[in-house]
Amino acid sequence: METVLRGLTSEACLVYLDDIIIVGRTFQEHLNNIRKVFQRLKKANLKLSPKKCRFFRKEVSYLGHIISADGVKIDPEKIKAVVDWPRPETVYDLRSFLGLCTYYHRFVRNFSAIARPLHKLTEARSNFNWTEE
């Protein structure tokens, strides 16, 4: 998909595997970008699934993020998942939790400093002991 839409990405669309988000600063620009993407898909003989298509959305949930004209933010459901995560009982549990948190690290100022004590607990020589720290 990225090969088919090369040159349009970031200007007109975001691509991840077989998902495409077509963007535009104005309604007319959005229509033009839809046209460009559709032309590329047609030329490559690719078809869309109408059931999966959503058009003219002001906000889109995509890969755990909410994308809108205001920018990109974390999907509130993902924040809830972090807040509601059960206390890790094992190193494996902690690594799973850190994996989720690390995915959103760019939204958390000083993430590496905040997560450092948790990462130390995952080290091979560490004795896993969950404390208030």
Task: Return the number of other C-beta atoms located less than 10 Å from residue 21's C-beta.
Answer: 16
Helix %, strand %, coil % of the chain (to 5) = 40, 15, 45
List the chain domain ranges: 2-56, 74-122
Q: What is the pLDDT of residues 52-85, one digit of tens each?
A: 999 899 999 988 899 888 888 999 999 999 999 9
> Is the Cβ–Cβ distance between 13 and 21 less than 8 Å?
yes
Q: What is the pLDDT of residues 18-41, one digit of tens each?
A: 889 998 888 999 999 999 999 999
Q: What is the pLDDT of residues 91-102, one digit of tens each?
A: 899 999 999 999
